[in-house]
Chain A
């Protein structure tokens, strides 16, 4: 989740930036087209007005007056430097300037666009020109060089590109900052959720009182946590009460049975009383185990628990169980490497003992139960393996449930809380537990974080 966060906000930032740039390009292209059309239109208007004036001159004074006027315009100071003129006689011979090689235009005139061959060192220039046939059969061309328009458009392009670059940079920066801000706001929520999930129920998301959406979500989240804590507290309270209220009469019952057994009575009655006592003891044990289980499950992981030598602890457990194993003709093989973990010594011992107890219950006589401890890359690995019947894969998750006992083991003593307790202890220590196939038998693998 925490790793996916930046990518989500980065995607968001990129998306925003993409849309932003696309709309920028679209608007820029629109403006560019509009401006260039407008400029071209202006140039045409100029050329057309010029042409109308020149045709009038021709009507008034004929070819001579027109030529004089054109010369005056080309070489005079008054003339438009961007204007282009050309005149040819009816046979197409040039009287002034050069016409582009094309069919002669009609009397109504037409627009042509060509590139003017430039003098040495100068740039070739686009020209837009109006050509028309004069009443005398001559062809008159009046044009406008588009150099200033082209310069303006080039400048516009450059400006647009520069603006685009700046916008992209700014967009990326804003996007990155936004995504970082979102990620930071989400990260605190995420981190809190993760730690609460690990059992630190007292933790709350820090609020900044800004009242923005994140702050409101955080407030809701905190309110939810308050509620969960209340409920859990209620459950714990109820469990304590049930345990207290039920265990007390049970103990009383046990003490009464004990008293009765002390009285002189027949062998049959004594035997029945002993069985009743054993049953009461089992009930009491189940209550104690349930209570302990509920407590461990509700405990937060203790990050500054003392460091302890797991190797010595496993040796102690093996030593404690050696006589029991010997009675069943089973050998406990211990293969440990130096390894330490942080945690509760009594709980970890309970964990090892429960796993060992399970293995011994199911291992066939004459076989070996292995206790192994080594350091893996992702933590300390504890393995307990037997050569018993094993657990079918479909049932492996179920054995951790409270009071869940596999059909095959109904006959064995126990109350079905051993593995639930093991899992609760593993989780409380921030570890993982897996049931694997030992072919034949069961291999329980517990991974605990290195200190």
Chain B
């Protein structure tokens, strides 16, 4: 897809652009807010990666201007300030997701895919059945089946699986899971998420030849073939 990167720090910009290109995306780079706003409002992009602190026109102003003009392009906001207040402020201004600098590229990549996916889904009708391979989740009857066999899930496991299926084929990070499934933004002391994942894995992969729930080292998890 085509991504606009608005970032004044040359080093960070090069690092992100390199990663995005390796993932097969086309990247346009703007080094300040004015240029970023100009590009974002004149060219079609699938997603915008926007730094909050920019010379000239700051990221939040740019964000509000775009949203005010009815531009609904998914936007991922980058910031060096890891305060929850700033996070809420960024989301209120119209960002789809938020990432604190510095970050591992895997986290940015996962979140960017997440917001683009969410955005595309909102265009169409919400599906009540989610699939990945021979695993399916019925959101109406709240049932999970694999190869026709029913899988008993706890409410939280259901939410976890639902989120993974919505992002099937994409890497989701531990923090993404904590925010989306547990709805808290905090710093887990130990890898509590891993234990939940391994329990889920027991239920959906145990006894099947092909595992569906994969651990992506140094990044997170991916559900898919």
Give the residues from 242 to 266 in chain A that come closer than 8 angstroms, CB to CB, to chain B.
243-244, 247-248, 250-252, 254-255, 258, 261
Residues of B contacting A292 with CB < 8 Å? 82-83, 187
Residues of B contacting A248 with CB < 8 Å? 11-12, 101-102
Complex-state Cα separation, A305 to B67, whole angstroms: 28
Are A251 and B104 within 8 A (Cβ)? yes
The size class of the interface chain B forms with chain A is 20 to 34
Complex-state Cα separation, A56 to B193, whole angstroms: 130
- 8 closest A-B pairs by beta carbon, nearest first, are A251-B102, A323-B195, A357-B189, A350-B186, A349-B184, A247-B102, A346-B185, A244-B80
Which listed residue, A240, A244, A285, A324, touches B187 by the CB 8 Å rule? Answer: A285
What does the 1/0 interface line of B174-207 toward A look like (CB < 8 Å)? 0000000010111111101001100100000000
What does the 1/0 interface line of B203-224 toward A look like (CB < 8 Å)? 0000000000000011000000
Are B101 and A277 within 8 A (Cβ)? no
Q: Does A344 contact B (CB under 8 A)?
A: yes
Are B156 and A319 within 8 A (Cβ)? yes
Residues of A contacting B190 with CB < 8 Å? 324, 357, 413
Complex-state Cα separation, A292 to B81, whole angstroms: 9
Which listed residue, B185, B192, B195, B218, touches A261 by the CB 8 Å rule? Answer: B218
Report the nearest A residue to B183, measured CB to CB.
A316
Residues of A contacting B182 with CB < 8 Å? 316, 320
Are B196 and A347 within 8 A (Cβ)? no
Complex-state Cα separation, A239 to B218, whole angstroms: 27
Interface of chain B: mostly helix, strand, loop or mixed: loop
Are A254 and B104 within 8 A (Cβ)? yes
17 additional A-B residue pairs with CB within 8 Å, beyond A248-B102, A346-B184, A346-B186: A251-B104, A252-B11, A252-B15, A255-B104, A258-B104, A258-B106, A258-B218, A289-B187, A295-B83, A323-B192, A323-B199, A347-B186, A349-B184, A350-B187, A353-B186, A353-B188, A353-B189
Report the minimum CB–CB distance from A363 to chain B (whole Å): 14
Which listed residue, A251, A319, A324, A349, touches B186 by the CB 8 Å rule? Answer: A349
What does the 1/0 interface line of A184-213 toward B look like (CB < 8 Å)? 000000000000000000000000000000
Report the minimum CB–CB distance from A202 to chain B (whole Å): 15
What does the 1/0 interface line of A341-372 toward B look like (CB < 8 Å)? 00011110110011001000000000000000
Are A277 and B187 within 8 A (Cβ)? no
Residues of A contacting B196 with CB < 8 Å? 320, 323
**Which among B80, B156, B189, B218 has the highest number of chain A CB atoms within 10 Å?**
B189
Residues of A contacting B101 with CB < 8 Å? 244, 247-248, 251
Q: Does A321 contact B (CB under 8 A)?
A: yes
Q: Does B105 contact A (CB under 8 A)?
A: yes
Interchain Cβ contacts under 8 Å between A and B, 17 examples = A240-B80, A251-B103, A252-B15, A254-B104, A255-B104, A261-B218, A274-B217, A277-B218, A285-B187, A288-B82, A288-B100, A288-B187, A291-B82, A319-B156, A324-B192, A346-B186, A413-B190
Q: Does A414 contact B (CB under 8 A)?
A: yes
Are A418 and B189 within 8 A (Cβ)? yes
Report the minimum CB–CB distance from A404 to chain B (whole Å): 16
Report the nearest B residue to A345, measured CB to CB.
B184
Report the nearest A residue to B107, measured CB to CB.
A251
Where the two chains meet, the residues of B that have a C-beta atom closer than 8 Å to any C-beta of A are: 11-12, 15, 80-84, 100-106, 156, 182, 184-190, 192, 195-196, 199, 217-218
Give the residues from 290 to 333 in chain A that come closer than 8 angstroms, CB to CB, to chain B.
291-292, 295, 316, 319-321, 323-324, 327
Complex-state Cα separation, A324 to B195, whole angstroms: 6
Residues of A contacting B184 with CB < 8 Å? 316, 345-346, 349
Complex-state Cα separation, A243 to B80, whole angstroms: 9
Complex-state Cα separation, A371 to B82, whole angstroms: 29
Report the nearest B residue to A319, measured CB to CB.
B156
Are B192 and A320 within 8 A (Cβ)? yes
Report the minimum CB–CB distance from B94 to chain A (whole Å): 21
Residues of A contacting B189 with CB < 8 Å? 353-354, 357, 414, 418
Complex-state Cα separation, A354 to B186, whole angstroms: 10
Complex-state Cα separation, A122 to B36, whole angstroms: 115
Residues of A contacting B192 with CB < 8 Å? 320-321, 323-324
Residues of A contacting B156 with CB < 8 Å? 319
Report the nearest B residue to A252, measured CB to CB.
B15
Give the residues from 206 to 250 in chain A that come closer than 8 angstroms, CB to CB, to chain B.
240, 243-244, 247-248, 250
Residues of B contacting A252 with CB < 8 Å? 11, 15, 102
Report the minimum CB–CB distance from A295 to chain B (whole Å): 5
Report the nearest A residue to B19, measured CB to CB.
A255
Complex-state Cα separation, A357 to B192, whole angstroms: 10
Complex-state Cα separation, A413 to B190, whole angstroms: 9
Are B84 and A346 within 8 A (Cβ)? yes
Residues of A contacting B106 with CB < 8 Å? 258
Are B188 and A344 within 8 A (Cβ)? no
Complex-state Cα separation, A353 to B83, whole angstroms: 18
Residues of A contacting B102 with CB < 8 Å? 247-248, 250-252, 284
Are A344 and B218 within 8 A (Cβ)? no
Report the minimum CB–CB distance from B6 to chain A (whole Å): 18
**Which among A284, A320, A321 has the highest number of chain B CB atoms within 10 Å?**
A320
Report the minimum CB–CB distance from A380 to chain B (whole Å): 19
Give the residues from 124 to 156 in chain A that come closer than 8 angstroms, CB to CB, to chain B.
none
Complex-state Cα separation, A240 to B188, whole angstroms: 22
**Which among B81, B82, B102, B218 has the highest number of chain A CB atoms within 10 Å?**
B102
Residues of A contacting B185 with CB < 8 Å? 346
Residues of B contacting A319 with CB < 8 Å? 156
Report the minimum CB–CB distance from B101 to chain A (whole Å): 7
Residues of A contacting B81 with CB < 8 Å? 240
Residues of B contacting A289 with CB < 8 Å? 187
Complex-state Cα separation, A174 to B106, whole angstroms: 75
Report the nearest A residue to B100, measured CB to CB.
A288
Complex-state Cα separation, A324 to B199, whole angstroms: 11
Complex-state Cα separation, A353 to B178, whole angstroms: 13
Residues of B contacting A414 with CB < 8 Å? 189
Are A258 and B195 within 8 A (Cβ)? no
Residues of B contacting A413 with CB < 8 Å? 190
Residues of B contacting A288 with CB < 8 Å? 82, 100, 187
